Amino acid sequence: MKSKHTILSITVGLLSLGTAQCSSIPYEDDIRFLNSAQANSMEWLLRVDGAVCKDMEGIIGACTKRVGSQSDVLLQHDPRPYGYRVDVECTDGTGIVFRHDVPKGEPWQYTLEHGDFEGFRSLSCQGEIFPHGRGNSLSALWQIRLIVFDDRYEGREEIYYLDEELIMGKHAKFTNWCFEGKCRVDDELTTVNTEPGAKAYSESEVMRFNYWNY
């Protein structure tokens, strides 16, 4: 019988071998390819109020965010192993156009203050990043669209699961729910007796919505 020490040595050896095999892939540059900005492909990692900016397919670099009319929005970049310039321009009329130089290894952040988009129902901002010392023909992009809603608006309560029921809330005028391929719509159904894996949403009299598992 092999000792624990022998088994541990074999395991460590196999792990080391796996690591060596993974790191043995030789680096190859891709200078013959279009860069992402030339292709208008938004791929730079932007954080918006701490969350990664992604599209509906989960691809990083472009996103939409709802924001209250009295709320600021924080934009951030992670540190990079090189310095770069970031050019940002937002919808005409906002007056938001600027350029920052970001040192190597430093994070970047900028706050869009709510006064900057006062009177706008929506606006878009685009950032273009140019690494220092690599020419102006190399860059990457991000883009965010902000949907500005009235801060006086009160959203619906969140749906939650309790005692084998989905609690849709007291304002559920119409409730849609689906489970195992079967769907139905009920009037004034404030609780649904179903499994937590069901999908459901409800609509109030003034068309405020809440959702579960969407």
pLDDT at 135: 83
Residue 5 has what DSSP assignment? H
Task: Give DSSP secondary structure letters for 156-194.
Answer: PPPPEEETTEEE--TT-SEEEEEETTEEEEEET--EEES
Q: For 191-201, what is the mean pLDDT?
A: 97
What pTM does this model have?
0.82
pLDDT digits 0-9 by tens, 49-91: 999 999 999 999 999 999 999 999 999 999 999 999 999 999 9
By C-alpha distance, which of 77, 172, 165, 204 is closest to 129?
Answer: 77
Task: Give DSSP secondary structure letters for 6-67.
Answer: HHHHHHHHHHHHHHHHHTTSPP---TTSPPTTTTT-B-S--EETTEE-B-TT--BTEEEEEE
Domains within the chain, CATH numbers bracketed: 47-149 (2.60.40.2950), 160-212 (no CATH)
